[in-house]
Structure 1
Amino acid sequence: MSSADDVGQVDFVYPSSIEVLLESDVDGLLDAPEKPKKITSSDRLERAFLQIVEFRRAHGRVPDSQTREIAERKLGARLDGILANEEKIAALKHLDEFGLLDVPEAPSSIDDLLEGDDFDLLGDESGLLDVSGLPVRRQQFDTGDAARRKPADDFEQFDPLFKQKHAELREGTSKLLPYPGLGHIIPGAFFVLNGVMLFIAEVGDTEYKKSTVRENKRERLRCIFENGTESSMYRQSLAIRLSDEDGQIVTQAQMTEILTDDEVSGHIYVLRTLSDDPQIAGLKDLYKIGFSRGPVETRVANAAKQPTYLMAPVKIVVDYRAYNLKISALENLLHRVFAEVRLEITQIDRKGRNYDPSEWFVVPLTVIDQAIELIVSGGIVDYVYDPDSQTLRARS
């Protein structure tokens, strides 16, 4: 009989190292579980699209985003969202076996649209789409000749002119009359078009354009508007607009009417010198009376360099526009009336030459205004100027 120590005894052998233990794990019991792969946004997008592909394979059509079936509507809405995003379309193109992501070309005409209407959704039994009986609309082409408003770079030199005209309108020395005709669109003229005052700064050279009937002539204008813009419209174009849109001309208050056939003769102007020369600046009631066919502002732009303006800047005191008058005769007549009070002075021009200005007179402005009114009415021939009383008196 054996001893108790021999009954049920089992001997265990322990491995000498961890490597031996791992090598003995033939069933892989000690293997570490693999980490699950991280799902990216691209993976989710592809899985979502593959569900749409499977729906197409199973049903033979794309899912409808408007159906009442919730599952199908979700797939349809998902497809609509993908089609609205070019990046998603590009990322899923390799999975699109049914052409779900193909964008149809837009029809190039109404006829193409109607031909592609497989379900006759645009059928026109009533004839609403038939435009054959409508008048043909004239197609407009931009030839580059159209004048458009643009900011006037030198508006600061014109702004005082507008302020002066508005002041004259308030004071009653100027007034608005209906637009009288094309012949009055000349340099220096003021008009009101759609409530905005404009000034004719320049009239360009005459251009000739041949038509099938005749050769038409036209001139480009430089129109300055009181809002700081300018336009280079044609003279005839401005005339049409002033006529069609009830335009007005700004003229002297004594003008009661301007007829279409009245001819613009030019401007009668009165200037005051701004000279700081003691022998000139000390003279009271010294004025230059002259005539100009073009804008007075242009005429006196370089006054400081010209002996006729006493080699100094000037201020425009009065600017009357004259109609149906012979300028040369009026100039001689007005100078003869004030001959006794003409300024006797010699100026030296920029080249060192002597010059005797002949249009400066020492006479009160009120008398000059009276003389101009008599010129316009034609009554000046019956008056002479008396230097002692500084008045115009009737000839004896």
Structure 2
Amino acid sequence: MSDAASPNDSGLSPELIDLFEGDDEGLFEAPVKPRPITTEDRLERAFIEILEFYDKHKRRPDPDTREIAERKLGARLVGILNSEEKKQHLRHLDDVGLLAEPEVPETLEELFEGTGDGADGSGAGSDFDFLADLLDEADGVDADLYDTASLPRRKPKSSDSVAERTRVKDFEPFRQAFKEKQQQLADGSVVLAEFKSEQSITDGKFYVVRGSLAFVAEVYDPEPGAPLENNGLPKQRLRVVFENGTESSMYRKSFAIRLYEEDGKVLAYNRSVTMDEIGDADKLSGWIYVLRSLSTDPEIASLRDLYKIGYSTTTVEQRIRGAEKSATYLHAPVEIVETFRTYNLRPSALEHLLHRVFAPARLKITRGTEPAATEWFIAPLEAIVDAVDKIISGEIVHYVYDVAAQRLVRRD
């Protein structure tokens, strides 16, 4: 007798055997178990969602918006940008430069120059975008009144109430005025301050809307039959001239709403100014600090003039709590050597500029798989303080740090 088993030895009926044997499409095959989703998979999926948002809106998601979905994506992006490990893992997916390091200004002029386009996409506001971004934003009472993010979308206005932009027939006098304001912004005699209220809009004032300069050339008398404000007074139109050579006769309230929605700024002279002109202009925005390491590690303790240059939007004392647990502080306590308060300026911008100045003296140190500590420099304290003073005065554009001389020297 043969040892080969017959099909019927399985105990199945001939019909079932024929059904199994005729399964050309693999319907009765055991399904392949899916590969478990890893942390890296989730990270890549999250970043792909961020890229899809960027492709659709042509901007990064805002972590502070009231739109929950966008806020979530913005928070994810912040977390990714704060992790070198995550950025390294995702670089192969980044085809739009979201993970690229921000360009550090090399000169004071670059610190106050923007790189974006004006409101009309013509590049008209490029001299002001970066400076406008440096100013911290404070939500005042009036700003809350004009915040329309949570309101239902309005129906389109009739063409009679919409002010269209037209070309300025005689733009040359305005061109010269805009050029003068650009120069005053560059030399610091004029500053950008937070826009406070509709009532502060008067003729002769300059504003920044989406990085583009706007000049209120005239406040017109109310037109006959003009719509009424909530206070019962007729609405007033403005003649607003933009630095790209166009003008608009928008309502005062419409201009105010746009300034609030676009985080617009008002230009004010850097002197004693009236509060109704700029409001609380001198707003404390943070601190630049210089720290000395108290490490007992011989490799660290033996380094003379080793300082950490950083910034904080909270007090420095709060910032350095738990320093001994952080690689950023070389896993050791630190001593506060110098602090500089910053007003109306994001301290991160000043920090980046200082790091650029002292880049030749940056300490290169890594410990195993920990991220490198990049904010430590070997330079005399006097040189660091001198650099801060020269940034404030504007002289830094003429100086570089000489490692051998251990001081700032004039550029050749």
- Per the shorter chain, which TM-score range? 0.3 to 0.5
TM superposition score normalised by structure 2: 0.32
Larger RCO, structures 1/2 (Cα 8 Å, 6+ apart): 2
The structure with more radius of gyration: 1
TM superposition score normalised by structure 1: 0.33
Q: Which has the higher strand share?
A: 1
